[in-house]
C-alpha cells in the first residue's frame, strides 16, 4: 500500500518504539476519514478506549507499572485465589458500574451504519456491548462472567459479587481504590477474605478472562483472522499493541496490504505498519471519524 497516496503531504513522522524503523505519519480524524472512506472496516480496540469510562489502561503515558496475576499463580492454591478475589471484589465495585463513553458509542455507530461487520476488542469490561455493538469478539473474555475450572459452568459476576459481599461483610470498606484494567486493585490485606466455590460442583471459580500465561481460545483467534481477511481497512484504537495477542492481527492486515490507521496516545508496536497515526484520545477522535464516515 502506498502510504503517500493516503496520508497528508508533509505529515510529520511519529516516534517509533524501534530505533531506525519507519513509522506512520501523524494526522487528524479528517485525514483518517479520507483513508477509510468507502472501505469495509475491522476495528481492534484496547484499554485506552475505556480510560474515559474511569478504567485505567496498562501502558498509557501516565500508567504505573503493573504485574497482573498469571494463570499459573492463580491455580497454585487457595492463598493466590484468596488474594485475587479479594482485590478483584473491591475493584468490581468500580469496574462493574462503568458506563460506555463517546468512543464506545462511535464504534457502535459504525456497526449500525453497516461499515463494521466485526469488532475485535482486547478489553474485558463489556462496554462495547453496553454501547450497542453486537458483532464483538471479546478476545480476552469478559470480566462480568465467571467460569468454574472444574465443571466449566459460566455464571454471572454480579451474582458472585453478591455472594462474596455476604461472605465478607465490610471487607475493605475504608480501602483506597485504584482499579486496573482487569478489575484488580492495589490492596494487600487479603488474608481474612473468604473465597466462595462454584454452587454446582464446589470447584474453583475464575473470571472468564484470559490471564497472562493462558492461551486465547482458537475459535476466537480464527474469528479475528477471518474479520481481517474480509476487511478493506483496519483501525486500531486505544492500544499500544505491546503484546502479540492483538499485534498479530495488525500484522496480518499489513500482510494483506490494506490500510491501517492507529488512534492512540503514545507510540505503538504497529507504528511501522500503519499508513496514518492519530495521536489523540479515542473519545475525541472516534466520534468525529464515525461522523465523517457514515
Q: Determine whether 128 is an active site residue.
A: no
Give me the phi and psi of 259, to 5 degrees please.
-70, 140
Strands 136-138 and 154-156: unpaired
CA–CA dist 32, 263 (Å, integer): 9
Q: Which run of H or of E encompasses 111? A: helix 102-112
- CA–CA separation, 4 and 2 (whole Å): 6
Of 128, 140, 161, 178, the active-site residue reads: 140
Task: Let me know: does 165 contact 158? Beta carbons within 8 Å.
Answer: no
Angstrom CA distances, 86 to 5, 99, 166, stand at 53, 23, 13
CA distance 189 to 134: 40
Q: Please give the C-alpha separations between residue 274 and each of 8, 109, 174, 261, in angstroms, as whole numbers.
A: 14, 24, 46, 6
Contacts of range 284-288, beta carbons closer than 8 Å, 24 or more positions apart: 284/29, 285/29, 285/32, 285/103, 285/237, 286/49, 286/102, 286/103, 286/106, 286/107, 286/237, 287/102, 287/103, 287/105, 287/106, 288/29, 288/30, 288/33
Bridge partners (DSSP) of residue 179 are 185
Q: Which residues, listed in sequence order, are joined to residue 25 by a DSSP beta bridge? A: 13
- In angstroms, the CA 268 to CA 59 distance is 10
All 3 cell numbers of residue 148?
Answer: 468454574
Catalytic center residues: 140
Amino acid at each position: 500500500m502506498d502510504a503517500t497516496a493516503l496520508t497528508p503531504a508533509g505529515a510529520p513522522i511519529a516516534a517509533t518504539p524501534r530505533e531506525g524503523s519507519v513509522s506512520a505519519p501523524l494526522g487528524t480524524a479528517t485525514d483518517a476519514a479520507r483513508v477509510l472512506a468507502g472501505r469495509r472496516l475491522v476495528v481492534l480496540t484496547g484499554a485506552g478506549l475505556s480510560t474515559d469510562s474511569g478504567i485505567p489502561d496498562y501502558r498509557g503515558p501516565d500508567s504505573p507499572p503493573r504485574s497482573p496475576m498469571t494463570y499459573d499463580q492463580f491455580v497454585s492454591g487457595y492463598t493466590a485465589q484468596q488474594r485475587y478475589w479479594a482485590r478483584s471484589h473491591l475493584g468490581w465495585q468500580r469496574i462493574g458500574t462503568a458506563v460506555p463513553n463517546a468512543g464506545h458509542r462511535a464504534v457502535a455507530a459504525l456497526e449500525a451504519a453497516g461499515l463494521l461487520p466485526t469488532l475485535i476488542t482486547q478489553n474485558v469490561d463489556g462496554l462495547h456491548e453496553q454501547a450497542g455493538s453486537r458483532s464483538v469478539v471479546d478476545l480476552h473474555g469478559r470480566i462480568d462472567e465467571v467460569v468454574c475450572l472444574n465443571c466449566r459452568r459460566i455464571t454471572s459476576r454480579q451474582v458472585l459479587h453478591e455472594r462474596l459481599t455476604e461472605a465478607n461483610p465490610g471487607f475493605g470498606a475504608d480501602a483506597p481504590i485504584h482499579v486496573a484494567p482487569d478489575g484488580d486493585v492495589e490492596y494487600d490485606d487479603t488474608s481474612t477474605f473468604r473465597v466462595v466455590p462454584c454452587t454446582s460442583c464446589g470447584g474453583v471459580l475464575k473470571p472468564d478472562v484470559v490471564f497472562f500465561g493462558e492461551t486465547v481460545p482458537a475459535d476466537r483467534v480464527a474469528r479475528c483472522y477471518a474479520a481481517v481477511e474480509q476487511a478493506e481497512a483496519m483501525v486500531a484504537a486505544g492500544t499500544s499493541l505491546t503484546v502479540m495477542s492483538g499485534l498479530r492481527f495488525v500484522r496480518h492486515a499489513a500482510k494483506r496490504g490494506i490500510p491501517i490507521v492507529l488512534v492512540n496516545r503514545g507510540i505503538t508496536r504497529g507504528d511501522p505498519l500503519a499508513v496514518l497515526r492519530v495521536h489523540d484520545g479515542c473519545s475525541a477522535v472516534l466520534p468525529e471519524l464515525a461522523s465523517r464516515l457514515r
